[in-house]
Amino acid sequence: MSDYYGQKQRNSRSRSPLSRLRRLLRRQKKLAAVLVLFAAVVIGGVVWLALNFQDAGEDLIAQNAVNVGTGYRNITYQGKNYRYNNRVTTILYAGLDSDTPLVQYRRYAMAPRADSISLVVLDELHRKMTVIALNRETITKIRRYTLSGISSGLYSDFLCYAYTYGDGGKASCDGLCEAVSLLLYGVPIDDYVITNRGSLSIVADMLGPVEVTVPNNDMAEIDARLFQGAQVTIDAQNLESFVRYRDTEKDFSNVGRMQRQQSYITGAINRVQAILNEQPDELWNQLQKADRYVQTNITKNRYLDLTRIVKNTAFSSQNYYIPEGRNVSGEDHDEFYPDEDALLAKVIELFYIKQ
């Protein structure tokens, strides 16, 4: 069977309560458009959620390759000293598997799953924009909570559940930011935008048509025009299917979907930068229509700062990074294990300057 987001039923034997929670979440429709709201990533929403996370106390040493020392700011990698590039701005984007207004729940572990997770890295020093597209199935350290909201500590689990275990509000946003920071060896997350399907049509209309090159044949059987290498126009009519569809009967089908999302984001970023140059204030006003479907710590003043940074950074397809690693067919869910050495080298490249 094929659908947008369903998961295969791998077996029917009894599972733990956590496993049953995962199966319940998998039955819901899910959002996987990395760039469905990339405009919102760089220009924000209107809901203030204060985030005080940058100097979190959990330092990481990855296979003895990094000695974090006084935190992320100064590290030693392969015998050389590096300092954090303080002209880097990071914006976390996550798309949730829901389409109703985002609300804070009274009990924890009831929030939707973060199915689309990306980190936008704006480097003013090198005038470069990079997008790190993170596989939702990445196994990494995330924070869990009891139903009453007491932290149970960090556990190895799917990255997409870092939001789920919170309260659907600040705790969920903080939990996802923390998980992404820990995955990337402690680099700080400056800003975040969390959205869901409810804002899809608004943003698609604002971005307008985007020209893309189809990267694979995953959708060729359902639409003969979508064969590998074809040049097609993606707009409000076909955006959702292009960035969300996958054949759930096939293992690791999320990989092909992420490739299509990459093709869309490459074209859409150019469109975003053009809009910011032409009518930044109007775009902010339009985005306020989606405020019930957006959680962010970006204020309008911060938005204006980000538009300046975005306009002064360049993006190309070479600046879109999907971490390397191993895909494993797990009992309940496909699992992704990043190549720690390769990921660490990329973190050093994007966030640090050799002293």
Q: Between these two residues, 186 and 197, which has the higher pLDDT value?
A: 186
Unique residue bearing structure tokens 């405020």:
291
SS3 of 186-226: the string is: CCCCCEEEEECHHHHHHHHHHHCCEEEECCCCCCCCCCCCC
- At 286 the pLDDT is 67
How confident is the model over 201-238, as pLDDT tens digits? 777 787 888 899 999 999 998 899 999 999 999 888 88
- At 332 the pLDDT is 76
For residue 143, pLDDT over 60 is answered with yes
How confident is the model over 261-302, as pLDDT tens digits? 888 888 888 777 777 777 767 667 766 777 888 899 998 889
Q: What is the mean pLDDT of residues 309-315?
A: 85
Q: Which pLDDT band, with edges at 50, 70 and 90, does 314 fall under?
A: confident
Q: What percent of the chain has pLDDT over 70?
A: 79
For residue 192, pLDDT over 80 is answered with yes
Q: Which pLDDT band, with edges at 50, 70 and 90, does 196 fall under?
A: confident
How confident is the model over 24-51, as pLDDT tens digits? 334 333 332 333 334 444 333 322 222 2
For residue 60, pLDDT over 50 is answered with no
Cα–Cα distance for residue pair 298/92, rounded to 1 Å: 11
Task: Map residue 81 onto helix, strand or coil.
Answer: strand
Buried/exposed 207-236: b ≥16 CB within 10 Å, e otherwise:
beebebebbbebbeeeeeebeeeeebebeb
Cα–Cα distance for residue pair 109/3, rounded to 1 Å: 26
- At 134 the pLDDT is 95
Cα–Cα distance for residue pair 176/262, rounded to 1 Å: 22
Angle (CA) 42-48-49 rounded to 5° is: 100
Q: Between these two residues, 173 and 21, which has the higher pLDDT value?
A: 173
Could you tell me the domains of the chain?
28-204+290-354 (3.30.420.590)
Q: Terminus-to-terminus CA distance in the chain, angstroms?
A: 54
* Distance, C-alpha 350 to centroid of its chain: 17
Q: What is the mean pLDDT of residues 136-142?
A: 96
Q: Where are the beta strands (DSSP E) in 25-113?
A: 66-67, 74-77, 80-84, 88-96
Torsion sign across C-alpha atoms 189, 121, 161, 326 = negative
Q: Which residues pair with 334 in a beta bridge?
A: 329
How confident is the model over 120-133, as pLDDT tens digits? 999 999 999 999 99
Q: Between these two residues, 344 and 14, which has the higher pLDDT value?
A: 344
Q: Which pLDDT band, with edges at 50, 70 and 90, does 69 fall under?
A: very low
For residue 339, pLDDT over 70 is answered with yes
Neighbours of 52 (CB within 10 A): 8
Closest CA to 103 of 288, 294, 285, 289: 294
- At 180 the pLDDT is 97
How confident is the model over 144-173, as pLDDT tens digits? 999 999 999 999 999 999 999 999 999 999
- At 244 the pLDDT is 77
